[in-house]
Structure 1
Amino acid sequence: MQLVQERRQRLELALFACLMIAFMLVVFTGVAHAGADTTFDTALTKFTDFLQGSGGKIITVLSLAGGIVALASGRFSLSQVAIPVGVGVGAGTGIPIVTSTVTATI
């Protein structure tokens, strides 16, 4: 029973912290104007190219290697297979989805 109360208190504290952060963002931030700002275009292009190219492959292979090491430890878990697959899919197709979503929103 005490464990449930502790979890509930942590959840309430986390919710309160999120609400306070949202309030602070609304009160203390200025109006954002979307437009033709190209300040970070070069960095975005380089980072996107890296993740969709060799960087994404390296991250996927490292994640897969971590899953294989975890499987070799003797305890099987579905997450040891699902996480590397998710990382590979995220690196391959997640970047264009996020980029198009942000572009459409702005």
Structure 2
Amino acid sequence: MGLLSLDRRRYWRLADIAVPCVGLALAAGAAMAGTDTTFDTALTMFTDFLEGSGGKIITVLSLAGGIVGLASGRFSLGQIAVPVGVGVGVGTGVPIVTSTITALI
């Protein structure tokens, strides 16, 4: 009898989760990717910032953090690799991500 009551509780917990999920799935509308230009201004401003002076500032700050870490006397490969990765990511990452998103949409 104890095992049977445990199984019933488990099924009721499943129903407590499944019923709202099914309801939300039925009520959801279709998501359309297309010619919506709602965030184009923000996207353009953000990519221009990262590809321009903002990306240079981020790279220099990362490099300065690595130099401070090296000057503190504890050497780590991350203190060199992180600024290089940030510079490469800011310099080439934005165009790669932008072209990938444009290709997928």
Q: Please, what TM-score do these two structures have when normalized by structure 1? A: 0.72
Q: How far does residue 29 in structure 1 lie from its aligned partner after superposition?
A: 5.5
Structural mapping, 1:50-89, within 5 Å: 50-89=49-88
Instruction: Write out per-residue CA displacement over residues 22-53 of structure 1, whole angstroms, 9 at most, x where no aligned residue.
Output: xx7x9485432111000000100000000000
With over 3 angstroms needed to count, the CA separation of the structure-2 counterparts of 1:35 and 1:69, relative to structure 1, is same
Match in the other structure for 1:105: 104
Letter in 2 for 1:85: V
Distance across 1 between alignment mates of 2:85 and 2:95: 15
Question: d(CA) in 2 for partners of 1:37 and 1:89?
Answer: 31
Aligned residues: 82
3-state SS of paired residue (2:33): coil
Q: What letter is aligned with 2:78?
A: S
- Find runs of 4+ consecutive structure 1 residues off by over 2 angstroms: 26-31
Identity percentage over the alignment? 78
Matched letter for residue 83 of structure 1: V
Q: CA RMSD in A?
A: 1.8
Who is 1:21 aligned against? none
The TM-score normalised by the length of structure 2 is: 0.72
5+ long unaligned stretches in structure 2: 1-20
